[in-house]
Amino acid sequence: MKFDGVLFFPVTPFTAEGAVDVDLLKAHISSRLPFGPGGVFPACGTGEFHALSIDEVRTIVTAAVEVVAGKVPVVAGAGGPLGHALAAARAAEEAGADALLVLPPYLVTGPTDGLVAYTEAVANASGLPVIVYHRGNARFTAASMARLAANPKVIGFKDGLGDVGLAQEIVAAVRAAGREDFAFFNGLLTAELTQGAYRGLGIPLYSSAAFAMAPEIAKAYYDAYMAGDEDRRNALLQGFYAPLVRLRDQTPGFGVSLIKAGLRLGGLAVGSVRPPLVDPTEEQLVQLKSILAKGYELAGR
């Protein structure tokens, strides 16, 4: 499976009554496709997987598959309690997804052998290939990733931990296992801020929550990144991404909350985040609006 472009993690819009707004979800995804995402990842972290029922996962992935219509891969989230993860994997397959992103297990921290077994259980729950998400209580070693790379259904690795030394070891171990087809991508929050370093590790792809909120800005960064235009890339980093990260770090969970708030500021009524996340304050919304304005200016919109 090949990914070519920014990896797009759509939000999950909710109605005023708290239900998934399917029509708005389709509009959200459809409006981003012209900006050339390399893949669409519905019902994952930015899509508030932690707060979704299995029926909602099925609804969201079905809508994404319908809109994307085979243009790029659709990768759905599966994780949390093992039973929930297995059910999510089956629901995503029924909905027509192309692959799964295996999110961390719920609450407990098991040994590496347990993480490998968890990943394999999710992989065995459907016919879909899986991408490992290295984050939180799902911390893999180079040896464990080499073991997983022996399974042809494991096709990728997303680093959300930020340990660059370990990430380098994992890339080397998977390559040594003969998996030249493996997809590696940077999954840190606001990954654009660290992607210059990750490219040097042999991790050329990255996920972008900002793409969901402001695709013009995210695409301008990606184009500069691919062209080696460091002046333009750094201008976007300093003028948009760094201030966004400073605002994000004010409140836990804002990696999702700010994206939905930015969409609302842009006129897409995607609703609030579900608990335990919280929406920005009025003061924070003013800051976000200013940051977005600067980003659009730098992107030439």
- Please check whether residue 88 is in contact with residue 57, taking contact to mean a CB–CB distance below 8 angstroms: yes
Residue 46 to residue 63: CA distance in whole angstroms? 16
Marked catalytic residue, from 106, 118, 133, 219: 133
**What are the phi and psi torsion angles at 138 (to 5°)?**
-110, 75
Residue 237 to residue 216: CA distance in whole angstroms? 14
**What are the phi and psi torsion angles at 217 (to 5°)?**
-70, -45
71 counts as catalytic: no
Residue 25 to residue 269: CA distance in whole angstroms? 10
Residue 107 to residue 80: CA distance in whole angstroms? 8
* CA within 13 Å, CB half, 136: 15
Residue 299 to residue 233: CA distance in whole angstroms? 10
158 counts as catalytic: yes
How many other CB atoms are found less than 10 A from the CB of residue 266?
A: 12
Q: Which of 146, 152, 187, 149 is nearest to 169 (CA)?
A: 146
Marked catalytic residue, from 71, 118, 153, 158: 158
Q: Which of 73, 35, 273, 250 is nearest to 156 (CA)?
A: 73
**Helix 82-95 / helix 112-124 crossing angle, nearest 10 deg:** 30
Residue 102 to residue 125: CA distance in whole angstroms? 12
Tokens representing residue 213 in the block? 């909120």
What residues are labeled active site?
A: 133, 158
